[in-house]
Amino acid sequence: MYQGRQPSLICSDPEFIRKALIKEFNSMPNRRQVDIGSSGNLLLTALNDDHWRHVRSSISPTFTTGKLKQVSRDGT
């Protein structure tokens, strides 16, 4: 679909989304840019290219499967 003149891909297949955003993230590091002011440039979803790769490698150990399961057990 298009958003104005900008082509956009919309996908509802969970396996494709997982592959694109997790397994193949090196191929697709950039997301759609939304101008929300200067502080918005620091949001995780607004980072691009090498900055995104650096931040992702820094925070990935925080979101391991075991840690996420522990958080969900504590919250129930």
* pLDDT for residue 19 is more than 80: yes
Report the chain's mean pLDDT, rounded to a whole number.
75
Query: What tokens appear for 12 in the block?
Result: 């509802």
Q: How far apart are CA 71 and CA 33, in angstroms?
A: 31
43-73 as b/e: b if 16+ CB within 10 A: eeebbeeeebeeeeeeeeeeeeeeeeeeeee
pLDDT at residue 76 is higher than 60: no
pLDDT surpasses 80 at 13: yes
Tokens 């931040």 correspond to 55
**Would the pLDDT of 75 be above 60?**
no
